[in-house]
Chain A
């Protein structure tokens, strides 16, 4: 109200009117969306480029090898001199063995840790444990690979004498340990975002802590929990170093977890680091395997997306 009119300083509005950066601002405002669009396009285009490369090279592969014998063949002997066989089922079996073992290890421990951290742990405990879990997620996978080969396998051999040096069990367990923090951390986020008022409502009905956790909080956070599991599964499917080091390189179409296996990723590593000549069927086969792998993880991600959309409990 009572403005001083003694000084001959111009009012703030006058200063604003005089200021010269208006045009500059307008220009920046026009340019920024364009620049950001280009940046966003680059990542999308890169993805499209990768998928296109995969598809093109896969099509070349299928000129040599019929699609059906690739999809349903139970033998994978690409390096055989006389009659090489390119049936992908043994590689898929290897990948599935490792993934299933990993899930069996990671889901109960991951969700258990999440329930502990979100419902039982004190603030101090949570502040200490959660960063440790997240560090676990940052360990390079090659370290996990050596851990599987030089520690877990010998340990397991104490209990399972038949276990080969290269097997599915040991890398499966270690991949499980690797994806565990991801499940624990993401599930914990989902559970701790369930409002406290809902917990109080359940406690006031005479629920025990466990009943609150299992019957109220977990169902309320289910979409987040399931999405974390599915994302972790797609990590396990794509895992490469651990299975290359500790899984062996014997593609077999069976249910045995004690013997040497080969996963899709390990096969790609084997060929890439070997001396398969450019343009050979073996060279193109890594694209077809890569494309199959891509389909697997794509489907898992789509499932995760659909689940978190469908089961979103509103609160």
Chain B
């Protein structure tokens, strides 16, 4: 429990269980300096929550981890993000390869306008799995993994858009699980959902932790406190504090963290 604070870049804990090691990351949208000297280490099989007020760079950071941020044409970066000890900005590191290892769940459910089955089978198919039996198994396993199998097993061929928002979001999680990624990035996955669906997704995250490393951006501080092991507090593009969640929420070191946690701003 009493781990040494991991704000420095020393990797004393052995590199093997570090999934993401961010070193001196800076990011600009045109002239806007959105991320400033970020240093963060994210560990295997943990839920890392990223909190902070709107515009603090938390979504930008999580989108940098799978290089989705590069869809914005004016983005420039400097520094390194080591994923499993390899710099994701290396020119010979293909984004497709990275994104096959690092799945993502978005703020708004975004299933494909296809059947539930085809949504889940999409990832395995594009990565070359064609065998119908294997695909069937993957679909069932992924839907079970996302705790939605019982709700949809009788209508796998219906359009995913016929489901409710909460179900759609779990379909998106199942779609992500179907390629068995190493890390799952979640960008405010429950912000568009009602409380009951939110609860289901939160329970799911707890279960997924055993097999996946999860990084979740959230606006909801109670949610961060409930589900995460580590919490990083972002403010104005900087990491103010990064520590075990219970430390952040009980005895934060930085005054600004305390103010944010206690709802004095943001």
Is A216 located at the chain interface by the 8 A CB criterion?
yes
Q: Which B156-197 residues have C-beta < 8 A from chain A?
A: 159, 161-162, 172, 175-176, 179
Are A205 and B71 closer than 8 Å at their CB atoms?
A: no
Q: Which A101-145 residues have C-beta < 8 A from chain B?
A: none
13 A–B contact pairs at CB < 8 A?
Answer: A198-B110, A198-B112, A203-B99, A204-B99, A204-B104, A205-B122, A205-B123, A206-B97, A206-B123, A206-B127, A220-B112, A313-B113, A313-B159
For B124, the closest partner residue in chain A by CB is A205
Are A200 and B106 closer than 8 Å at their CB atoms?
A: yes
Q: A208 to B125, alpha carbons, bound, how many Å?
A: 13
Is A259 located at the chain interface by the 8 A CB criterion?
no
CB contact under 8 A between A206 and B179, given known A313-B159, A314-B161: yes
A215 to chain B, nearest CB (A): 7
B176 neighbours in A (Cβ, 8 Å): 205
A201 neighbours in B (Cβ, 8 Å): 106, 110-112, 172, 175
Are B112 and A314 closer than 8 Å at their CB atoms?
A: no
A314 to chain B, nearest CB (A): 5
Number of interface residues of B (CB under 8 A): 30
Is A9 located at the chain interface by the 8 A CB criterion?
no
B30 to chain A, nearest CB (A): 15
Q: Which residues of B contact A (CB under 8 A)?
A: 66, 68, 71, 95-100, 103-104, 106, 108, 110-114, 122-123, 125-127, 159, 161-162, 172, 175-176, 179
Are A204 and B159 closer than 8 Å at their CB atoms?
A: no
CB contact under 8 A between A200 and B71, given known A208-B96, A313-B159, A314-B161: yes
Q: A205 to B172, alpha carbons, bound, how many Å?
A: 11
Other 11 A-B pairs with CB < 8 A, given A206-B96, A219-B113, A314-B159: A198-B112, A201-B110, A203-B68, A204-B68, A205-B103, A205-B123, A206-B97, A206-B126, A207-B96, A216-B112, A315-B113
Are A204 and B126 closer than 8 Å at their CB atoms?
A: no
Q: Which A173-206 residues have C-beta < 8 A from chain B?
A: 195, 197-198, 200-206
A234 to chain B, nearest CB (A): 27
A205 neighbours in B (Cβ, 8 Å): 99-100, 103, 122-123, 126, 175-176, 179
Is A211 located at the chain interface by the 8 A CB criterion?
yes
B71 neighbours in A (Cβ, 8 Å): 200, 203
B112 neighbours in A (Cβ, 8 Å): 198, 201-202, 216, 220
Are A197 and B108 closer than 8 Å at their CB atoms?
A: yes
Q: A200 to B172, alpha carbons, bound, how many Å?
A: 12
Are A206 and B68 closer than 8 Å at their CB atoms?
A: no
Q: A219 to B118, alpha carbons, bound, how many Å?
A: 12
Q: A55 to B260, alpha carbons, bound, how many Å?
A: 79
A313 neighbours in B (Cβ, 8 Å): 113-114, 159
